[in-house]
Amino acid sequence: MADKNAKDNISAREVNYNQHLILLYRFYAKSLFMPIRIRQHVNPLARKFQQPIPIPNWAEIYDKSDRPLHLDIGCARGKFLLAMAQLHPERNFLGIEIRKSLVIDANEVKQELGLTNLHYLFGSINASTSLLASLPHNTLKTISIQFPDPWFKKRHNKRRVVQPELVEALVTHLAIAGEVFLQSDIEEVAIEMRDRFAIYPCLTQQHSTTWLATNPLAVATERELYVLEQNLPVYRVLYTKFAEL
């Protein structure tokens, strides 16, 4: 009888694992092989993006809302967070993305995989700093901003996501010992992001070199993998908060 129960448990795990792989395949195949019309550049200053993101009930979003939270700003298709959430079930993950169709697809996959430590929200974080204040107290432990839209034209620089008001809000609500990870393949953008966080004396850079040589996170984004495959540089910075603002 014990042998039969053990075999049944193994079979159940195999079924769950196979279902998991199928869902992941569907997620990746959808983005890789199926033509989807998605605007790559979305003007965050457009009127429709000036409405704050509705504040959710965090206790309903996550099964344990008091876990350490990783906030990824500009999460795109959400694949980075999808992998991170499975590697770190002891943490919660939140992605903010301004392209609604990507958020819908990412949340569908999250639900199908049964991940209760991951969620995606649609909207502009720059219009939604009140969202940060609504997070469960002292849970915001990691902030990542990876390869944001560079908006090269000078008159469009104000569309870049890392604006002074947002940086102040992020630093304010980041928990003590929390980390900010920034990276871009555009040096100008990386310098601007770095300098806007560097003005806060409560943050300390966690490397003596100008740029961090390697990614400290366990998962690389699609953009990072592409850039590295092209043998192009990635400019990274890691800060830790050691005191209140």
Bridge partner residues of 239 (DSSP): 180, 205
C-alpha–C-alpha distance, residues 81 and 110, integer Å: 10
Which CA distances in Å does 81 have to 69, 101, 109, 149? Answer: 12, 17, 12, 18
Three-state SS for 130-163 is: HHHHHCCCCCEEEEEEECCCCCCCHHHHHHCCCC
**Whether residue 149 lies in the annotated active site:** yes
Residue 118 in tokens? 């991951």
Structural contact between residues 142 and 81, judged by C-beta atoms closer than 8 angstroms: no
Structural contact between residues 144 and 181, judged by C-beta atoms closer than 8 angstroms: yes
Structural contact between residues 89 and 176, judged by C-beta atoms closer than 8 angstroms: no
Catalytic residue, from 3, 72, 105, 149: name it.
Answer: 149
C-alpha–C-alpha distance, residues 206 and 239, integer Å: 6
Which residues carry out catalysis? 149
